[in-house]
Amino acid sequence: MRCPKCGAFIGEGTDVCFMCGTNIKTYNPNMANGGFYGQQQGGNFPGLNDYDNIYNNVKNKDKDVFDFFADNSLLIKFISFISIVAVVVLSGVIYYKIKSKETKLEPVVGQLYYKVDDIFQNIGEGEYSSSGEKGSACNIVVAVDSNSSDNYVDNLFKMAKQKLEPQRDKKQIVIDKLKVYTSLESSITINGTKWYYMNVYYPETEGGPATVLKYQFYTTIYNGFAYNAELINNNNEDKCSSAFDNFVRSLTFLEKSVEIKK
């Protein structure tokens, strides 16, 4: 609103004009021009506050930015509301795109991508180890071999079994029966690629059933290279077994490749 005396803009809730000091509630333009009775000769007395007459007689060219906001308050509030809604919607769309953006996979070795859980530490090229409740007995070893013969899988599993053979005495009797293993060989398709695997089980107690899975071997041939993964869980820890499951499910071959060190 404007001061009825000098025409200066007055903010809402203000009774005194900061330009001329007039109290707009008690100001009488008639009294300022000759007194109360002096104005009665014309007949009608317009009242103590003649703000409406003064404001309505202000020419458009004399109106300032405050008058513009006063004349278009509803339109400005509507535009402000639409702007706030647009900002909220746009922020939501940007956030959704960032959250839903797929992580670009990169091969770790050769053309093979895999992921190991956070419980593992990288202790060497393709070697990962995790310390459990009974020490460091949860390990993953990934390697690439260029010698892929027709009997590669069979030979690999035979070599693994030879390393796991229990110690025997002079009469070829097993010294520790808990180190006598049984194995299961089969194949599985993981993310579109056929992998061969061998599970190695050990008896939980002497003379008991072979129920403890301590070693797993995975291998496949891809573009002339053999990719091997050895998983070791000596203490049969559930956390380690779960981490191995996550690792196996992540095995994926990508078109892009990294250098294979021979």
pLDDT at 208: 75
- How far apart are the C-alpha atoms of 133 and 88, rounded to whole Å? 48
pLDDT at 36: 42
pLDDT at 183: 94
CATH number of the CATH domain containing 149: 3.40.1000.10
Q: Is residue 242 situated within a structural domain?
A: yes
**Could you count the other beta carbons within 10 Å of the beta carbon of residue 216?**
20
pLDDT at 131: 78
Q: In this structure, what token pair is assigned to residue 208?
A: 């008991």
Q: Is residue 48 situated within a structural domain?
A: no
Q: Is residue 209 situated within a structural domain?
A: yes
Q: Is residue 222 situated within a structural domain?
A: yes
- For tokens 């020419």, the residue is 59
Q: Is residue 176 situated within a structural domain?
A: yes
Q: How many domains does the chain have?
A: 1
Q: Is residue 169 situated within a structural domain?
A: yes
- Overall size of the chain counted in residues: 262
- How far apart are the C-alpha atoms of 65 and 72, rounded to whole Å? 11
pLDDT at 80: 86
pLDDT at 34: 47
DSSP 74: H
pLDDT at 229: 97
pLDDT at 42: 46
pTM of the model: 0.60
194 phi, psi to nearest 5 deg: -85, 120
Burial per residue of 179-215, b for 16 or more beta-carbon CB atoms within 10 angstroms, e otherwise: eebeeeeeeeebeeeebbbbbbbbbeeeeeeeebbbb
Q: Is residue 18 situated within a structural domain?
A: no
Digit-by-digit pLDDT tens for the chain (262 residues) are 677 777 777 766 777 786 677 887 777 766 555 444 444 444 444 444 555 555 555 555 556 656 666 667 788 788 888 999 899 988 888 877 766 666 678 889 999 999 999 999 999 989 999 976 666 689 999 999 887 678 999 999 999 999 999 998 998 898 888 888 999 999 999 999 999 999 999 998 877 777 899 999 999 999 989 999 999 998 888 899 999 999 999 999 998 776 666 5
pLDDT at 67: 66
Q: Is residue 210 situated within a structural domain?
A: yes
Parent domain of 152: 112-253
DSSP reduced 3-state for 183: strand
